[in-house]
């Protein structure tokens, strides 16, 4: 990635949970958040997967929120003893973690309607760092929250996606990054030299090559990203020409 893509806004993502690091759970949140941020012109600059250890979570929040426009977190906002993200955000910002009246009343109404006991553990999910605003959770009601530039979401993909969708319209809109992609049957070693030359000719585009598995063997996707659509279309044609000149075929993306 060329450094000028590091125009603000940038974001960092924290995926919180031992189960991601032990291999028990396959993460599905990074790709969703990365692509949705990209569509809004926000560069996801880094993602960190960390364990359920308070000091690690607090330090990571404080480091990342000073560096990036936004910090997104997933995981650790449920009712059990290993759900410690809200405490950690409160610690990071050095604020209290009281019961939030609106969160409390939403949870009480939801539990009453489903005949679920509003026990102390469930009501832990109404504790919100002082000064944070709620992020609606249409799936299971217990809200996420935003504290300054830190956006705290659930780890369950369906709930996280609903929360992200709710907060999305409030995010800064960055310069729109478009892309063109050309799939071909040549190896990276065959393409590398011509691709490097093209990157040098178009320094304000970000050119990459990605081996992908397809039905009958392997192929390489050539991708150009940038803000100038006319230029991208031009480079898309040049990439196709490059493939043909090097003796390959352009494949249809399935």
CB of 8 to its own copies, least distance (A): 15
Q: Using the rule CB under 8 A, is 48 a contact of its own copies?
A: yes
Q: Using the rule CB under 8 A, is 196 a contact of its own copies?
A: yes
Which of 41, 56, 59, 148 is close enough to bind its own copies by CB under 8 A? 56
Q: What's the CA gap between 29 and 155, in Å, rounded?
A: 8
Q: What's the CA gap between 147 and 109, in Å, rounded?
A: 25
Q: Using the rule CB under 8 A, is 52 a contact of its own copies?
A: yes
CB of 93 to its own copies, least distance (A): 22
Q: Which among 45, 44, 145 is positioned nearest to 85, based on CA atoms?
A: 145
Q: Which among 114, 63, 121, 116 is positioned nearest to 88, based on CA atoms?
A: 63
**What's the start-to-end Cα distance of the chain, in Å?**
26
Q: Helices 188-201 & 229-245, crossing angle to 10 degrees?
A: 140
Q: Using the rule CB under 8 A, is 191 a contact of its own copies?
A: yes
Residue numbers 65-104 binding its own copies by CB under 8 A = 78-82
Q: Using the rule CB under 8 A, is 236 a contact of its own copies?
A: no
Q: Which among 126, 174, 127, 170 is positioned nearest to 149, based on CA atoms?
A: 170
CB-nearer residue toward its own copies: 41 or 95: 41
The b-or-e profile of 31-66 (16+ CB within 10 A means b, else e) is: eebbebbbebbbbbbebebbebeeeebbebbbebbe
CB of 131 to its own copies, least distance (A): 26
Structure-block tokens of residue 94: 């050095």
CB-nearer residue toward its own copies: 21 or 214: 21
Which of 34, 87, 136, 178 is close enough to bind its own copies by CB under 8 A? 34
Number of Cβ within a 10 Å radius of residue 101: 10
CB of 61 to its own copies, least distance (A): 14
Which of 4, 7, 8, 35 is close enough to bind its own copies by CB under 8 A? 35
Q: Using the rule CB under 8 A, is 41 a contact of its own copies?
A: no
Which of 170, 193, 233, 244 is close enough to bind its own copies by CB under 8 A? 193
Which of 183, 223, 242, 243 is close enough to bind its own copies by CB under 8 A? 223
Number of Cβ within a 10 Å radius of residue 150: 23
Eight-state DSSP code of residue 114: T
Binding site for its own copies (CB under 8 A): 1, 3, 18-28, 30-36, 38, 43-53, 56, 78-82, 116-117, 119-122, 124, 156, 187-193, 195-196, 199, 206-211, 223, 225
């Amino acid at each position: 990635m060329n450094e000028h893509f590091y125009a603000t806004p940038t974001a960092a993502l924290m995926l919180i949970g031992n189960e991601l690091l032990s291999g028990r759970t396959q993460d599905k949140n990074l790709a969703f958040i990365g692509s949705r941020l990209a569509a809004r012109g926000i560069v996801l600059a880094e993602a960190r997967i960390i364990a359920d250890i308070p000091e690690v979570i607090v330090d990571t929040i404080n480091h990342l929120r000073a560096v990036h426009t936004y910090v997104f977190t997933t995981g650790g906002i449920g009712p059990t003893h290993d759900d410690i993200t809200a405490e950690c955000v409160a610690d990071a910002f050095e604020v209290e973690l009281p019961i939030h009246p609106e969160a409390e009343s939403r949870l009480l109404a939801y539990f009453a309607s489903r005949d679920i006991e509003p026990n102390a553990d469930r009501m832990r999910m109404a504790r919100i760092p002082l000064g944070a605003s709620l992020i609606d959770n249409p799936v299971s009601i217990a809200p996420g929250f935003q504290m300054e530039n830190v956006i705290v979401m659930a780890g369950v993909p369906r709930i996280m996606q609903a929360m992200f969708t709710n907060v999305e319209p409030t995010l800064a809109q960055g310069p729109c990054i478009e892309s063109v992609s050309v799939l071909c049957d040549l190896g990276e070693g065959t393409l590398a030299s011509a691709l490097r030359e093209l990157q040098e000719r178009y320094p304000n585009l970000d050119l990459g090559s990605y081996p992908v598995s397809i039905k009958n063997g392997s192929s390489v996707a050539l991708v150009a990203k940038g803000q100038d659509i006319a230029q991208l279309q031009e480079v898309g044609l040049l990439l196709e020409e490059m493939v043909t000149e090097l003796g390959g075929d352009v494949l249809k993306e399935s």
